[in-house]
Amino acid sequence: MHTVVVGTSGVTASDVLAVARGGARVDLSAEAVAALAASREIVDALAAKPEPVYGVSTGFGALATRHISPELRTQLQRNIVRSHAAGMGPRVEREVVRALMFLRLKTVCSGHTGVRPEVARTMADVLNAGITPVVHEYGSLGCSGDLAPLSHCALALMGEGEAEGPDGVVRPAGELLAEHGIRPVVLREKEGLALLNGTDGMLGMLVMALADLDILYKSADVTAALSLEALLGTDRVLAPELHAIRPHPGQAASAANMLAVLKGSGLTGHHQDDAPRVQDAYSVRCAPQVAGAGRDTLAHARLVAEREIASAVDNPVVLPDGRVESNGNFHGAPVAYVLDFLAIAVADLASIAERRTDRLLDKNRSHGLPPFLADDAGVDSGLMIAQYTQAALVSELKRLAVPASADSIPSSAMQEDHVSMGWSAARKLRTAVDNLTRVVAVELYTATRAVELREGLTPAPATRAVVEALRAAGAAGPGPDRHLAPDLAAADAFVRDGRLVAAVETVTGPLN
């Protein structure tokens, strides 16, 4: 099994995906262990002094004014974890919990948190055992980090609360630790606080959304090309020289993908004699501009994610010169903004895809296709309600595009008087990505049926490869009405697991 080694200089997005989704093992580098020990020495020295130091010998948040005596500090650290593990609602997905645990371990290993090496090793052991703490949907305001979600993870390290075992069964965390020979941690000064104070949940969800959207944007270029082909549109608008004079890189990449898919098509450029067209509709002609803007948004979000992955987010932090300083690096604004930005781009990509689907189904705008692509219109309804489902998804995506990061609600007796709501932005983006996948699947199902109905015209080789692969995956072609939900589910799975892109790339080579 692949092993990810965590050092002091951070990890990569690929490492996060390998641990969260691929079940990769985690190990600590010798450099990280040495840095953990060195920063712990600094914390221990400060703990021995009579002067109060925030997070080491004081309370937290609005209670930071109280100096805590040495005999109560273990209880203090245990109490912050217990009290902050206050999440409610449905369980968060296993991959999200693994991502946030791994990213917290990454920061711990930076040597800026003051956590002992044995605590970091226990975090790695829990991940390697496939133990996943139960984390709930609600509880994070995205400032002072994802407090409640991280607290539920820290609670499991202490042998408390509930967790899911490698068999998928939820049991007391203490039982699972014992079965795997993992000793629960007893937290010392600063350690409870250090395990809770990070943007790890929202960052993990951003990393996974970026990976999913990379596939989805390629998929959307493919389905846009298929719709253009099915509508007998022109591919001249995709010429590289047209996109070179408006040099947005994402736009050029999308146009190049569409042009590659359409290469060799016998359908493009056919304008009916009784309904001549000078230009295709915006939803067809401007597909690279809209998808390209989204791709450039992805590039910006990826830059933010890379910076955040390289960060050591904690409060207070241990600096190389021995100081332990309070700071505001836990504020989730940088991550929250791009999570919301991506939700806007996702909603718009879905919106333009739905417009192409509707055009394919409308006999007045489809340039010779039967109404709703029905076999016997009137007796058969064809794909009429598939578009209803797609429209409902797009409407939901528009609601999900309303930014969470524009909101703030004060907490902790006004000590934490401005928060990022980044966790909420991440949660709604996950829903948005799921729904975009479904929207793209409906366009795919519609466009492939429309292409097959263009008798006497030969589609592009890449299109033929998609149609053959989709039909083999269980999504039927033209014919009388049938139970449509299973076909749409098959198309959804075909897009979701990357088979659509893979089918095209057997002909075109790698897409952008």
Largest CA distance in the chain: 91
Number of C-beta neighbours around residue 329 at 10 A: 16
| Closest C-alpha to 59, from 86, 96, 33, 84 | 84
Residue 84 burial (C-beta neighbours within 10 Å; 0-12, 13-18, 19+): buried
Output the six-digit token pair for 171.
């049991």
Helix (H, G, I), strand (E, B) or coil at 7: strand
Quickly tell me which residue has 């029905």 as its tokens.
374
138 carries an active-site annotation: no
| Closest C-alpha to 352, from 401, 297, 394 | 394
State the virtual CA torsion across 368, 372, 375, 378 in degrees, nearest 10: -110
d(CA 126, CA 108): 15
Residues contacting residue 131 through CB under 8 Å, at least 6 positions apart: 156, 163, 164, 165, 166, 173, 176, 177, 180, 182
Whether the CB-CB separation of 346 and 213 falls below 8 Å is answered with yes
d(CA 233, CA 317): 59
Residues contacting residue 1 through CB under 8 Å, at least 6 positions apart: 23, 24, 25
Whether the CB-CB separation of 135 and 152 falls below 8 Å is answered with yes
| Closest C-alpha to 463, from 290, 280, 268 | 268
Catalytic residue selected from 54, 217, 337, 388: 54
Amino acid at 409: I
Number of C-beta neighbours around residue 181 at 10 A: 8
d(CA 117, CA 34): 8
Number of C-beta neighbours around residue 65 at 10 A: 9
Whether the CB-CB separation of 461 and 372 falls below 8 Å is answered with no
Amino acid at 395: S
d(CA 376, CA 370): 9
* Residues with a known catalytic role: 54
